[in-house]
């Protein structure tokens, strides 16, 4: 059973961001499924794919923020950097220790993503729409 579902209230009004947010939800749901069922054999690959998608999404957001001189860029980027660091540390700990982490990671990621979308990214989406950003 998926941990979370995309819904229209999560839309930030910027198509590429909404699409990538939905894709990240899918990756977190896949991770959650593996964690809750104990499927360790694909866990490292799933974590690496989630990291790749997350980095790519953050690069897209940060590029558009720079392009449009978003005044909260540094604050927003710090949130991105902190999450990437947390994910990388978790992946490294899991790989070295070889122990099954349970669902605390997927629960953390769900909470982080939903809060980030509803607060930081909605603000960014409103700014970009107000600035007449062509995306």
pLDDT at 40 over 80: no
**Which residues span the domain enclosing 87?**
11-130
Q: What integer pLDDT is reported at residue 36 of this predicted model?
A: 85
Q: Tell me which residue of 14, 19, 12, 37 sits closest to 106, measured CA to CA.
A: 37
Q: What is the CATH number for 77?
A: 1.20.120.50
The residue ranking higher by pLDDT, 34 or 112, is: 112
In a domain, residue 5? The reply is no
1 assigned to some structural domain:
no
Q: Is residue 26 part of a domain?
A: yes
pLDDT in tens, 117-134: 999 999 999 999 888 776
Count structural domains, the chain. Answer: 1
Phi-psi label, residue 109: left if phi above 0, alpha if psi -120 to 50, beta otherwise:
alpha
The rounded distance, in Å, linking the Cα atoms of 25 and 31 is 10
Say whether pTM exceeds 0.85. yes
CA atoms within 13 A on the CB side of 98: 0
pLDDT at position 45, please? Answer: 87
Please tell me the distance from the alpha carbon of residue 115 to that of residue 112, in angstroms, as a whole number: 5
Residue 17 in any domain: the answer is yes
């Amino acid at each position: 059973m998926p941990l979370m579902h995309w819904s229209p209230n999560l839309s930030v009004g910027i198509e590429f961001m909404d699409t990538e947010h939905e894709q990240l939800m899918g990756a977190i749901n896949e991770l959650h499924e593996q964690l809750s069922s104990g499927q360790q054999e694909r866990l490292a690959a799933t974590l690496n794919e989630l990291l790749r998608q997350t980095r790519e999404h953050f690069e897209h957001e940060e590029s558009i923020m720079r392009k449009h001189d978003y005044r909260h860029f540094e604050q927003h980027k710090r949130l991105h950097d902190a999450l990437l660091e947390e994910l990388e540390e978790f992946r490294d700990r899991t790989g070295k220790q070889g122990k099954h982490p349970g669902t605390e990671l997927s629960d953390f990621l769900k909470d982080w993503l939903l809060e980030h979308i509803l607060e930081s990214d909605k603000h960014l989406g409103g700014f970009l729409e107000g600035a007449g950003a062509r995306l």
